[in-house]
Amino acid sequence: MKRIILLSLASLISFMAFSQNDGINPQMLEKIKQGYTSTTQDKALRNAIANNSIDKLVANLDNEANYDTYFSNRVKTKGVSDQKSSGRCWMFSGYNVLRAEMIAKYNLGEFDFSHNYLFFYDQLEKSNLFLSLIIKHKDEPLDSKHNDWLLKNVLSDGGQFTGVSDLITKYGLVPSSVQPETYNSENTRTISSLMTLKLKEYALELRGANNKDLETKKVEMLSTIYRMLVLAYGEPVREFTYTLRNSSGKEISTDKYTPKSFYDKFIGKDLNKTYVMLMNDPTRPYNKLYEIENDRHVADGFNWRYINLPIEDIKEMAIASIKDSTMMYFSCDVGKFYNRGKGLLDVNNYDYASLMGTSFSMDKTQRIQTFASGSSHAMTLCAVDLNKDNKPNKWLVENSWGSSAGFQGHLIITDEWFNEYMFRLVVDRKYVSSKILNILNQKPTMLPPWDPMFAEDID
């Protein structure tokens, strides 16, 4: 009887929330229709829109005439990588920073690290993090905010630079030839969905287990995940012999390595102490330090922690880095106003407002607040074109969609688009002023993992 009363109360509250006046009734529908007046131009537009891509209809051809591929300052790179059908852009972007440094240091030809090797551990570590958080929140209701978020964000390919730094610090690196890609590392959808399904099953099992059995059960569960990963990606290499050659084919060195010793010899720096993570989030105060709860790849690693800065401050550091031939991890909302044929990101590429007879007037702050925009893809910032006043006209990023995508595997970004849709930049601390570095000494403001700004870089 009590259950029936509670259900009736819930139904009453639901009814009270929406009255009959909130529905579209015939009278309201008639008023809506009266607000629209059909014209002869609308008939032509309906035919055009129904049978064509909207982007093609609203493409600004005059804007394409101003397309320019010259850059006054550019970091030299060799080769363009391809993440294929996976969401590993964050790893490719981080690798591009490190491999450009190694290529320049040793005068190499095209060279890359194995994405498959580190991705194996990324997926294993994320699985452990998920199960650990399920245990942490096991006494909360299944539909609590934390558990709801966890079960909707179990496992993905996506991530941020903290994943690059923590995973490399823990597991090292190997050359791409030592552990090549597999079909499933380049096409991750199926194996990822299977592991996700298994982890959700494990989550329910852990919630019903005795506390004294939790750690034992978690290790057993991760053994199954490990086996799934081995079958899809191969078991990670532990030792290997490798010959490094320069661009002329001359041998630089031949030695036996572990992944950690290889990294220590050829890169050999603490990534967490070398790089500073910056954000342009106008919804929050600038010159403040922020941290996102549980936004990490490795349970014993670091959350994404960043300094929120005005866009002009970020540009200043980016320009200094490029001028010093140092590439940067860069992420943005890549899908907005993207001309695929030209590889051009420009807010003037498409005129949606004229076609639809309305305006789209939200600014960057409002787009973030309404989940209309956020960081979705990581690339590597490698060039800037400066005008006579030393101000940027446009930027260039090395992408990870293959050499045939965009402009020779790169995307050109106008400075106006940079202002509106750039979010994250990771720079070497030597390009950061002491004033900004001091912000790292602040106690960070902790933000929840479901904050609108903090979806993973995954495209």
Q: Is 115 known to be catalytic?
A: no
Q: Rounded to an integer, what distance in angstroms lies between the CA atom of residue 345 and that of residue 334?
A: 8
Q: Is 147 known to be catalytic?
A: no
| CB atoms inside a 10 Å sphere around CB 230 | 12
Catalytic hit among 280, 303, 339, 399: 399
Q: How far is CA 144 from CA 131, 208, 250, in A?
A: 16, 16, 60
Residues 6+ apart with CB under 8 A from 213: none
CA angle 442, 162, 151 (to 5 degrees): 105
Catalytic hit among 115, 146, 297, 377: 377
Q: Which two tokens stand for residue 100?
A: 């450009």
Q: Is 63 known to be catalytic?
A: no
Catalytic hit among 89, 294, 339, 382: 89
Three-class HEC string of the chain: CHHHHHHHHHHHHHHHHCCHHHCCCHHHHHHHHHCCCCCHHHHHHHHHHHCCCHHHHHECHHHHCCCCCCCCEECCCCCCCECCECCCHHHHHHHHHHHHHHHHHHCCCCCCECHHHHHHHHHHHHHHHHHHHHHHCCCCCCCCHHHHHHHHCCCCCCECHHHHHHHHHHHCCCECCCCCCCHHHHECHHHHHHHHHHHHHHHHHHHCCCHHHHHHHHHHHHHHHHHHHHHHHCCCCCCEEEEEECCCCCEEEEEEECHHHHHHHHCCCCHHHHEEEEECCCCCCCCEEEEECCCCCCCCCCCCEEEECCHHHHHHHHHHHHHCCCCEEEEECCCCCEECCCCEECCCCECHHHHHCCCCCCCHHHHHHCCCCCCCEEEEEEEEEECCCCCEEEEEEECCECCCCCECCEEEEEHHHHHHHEEEEEEEHHHCCHHHHHHHHCCCEEECCCCCCCCCECC
Q: Which residues does the annotation mark as catalytic? A: 89, 377, 399
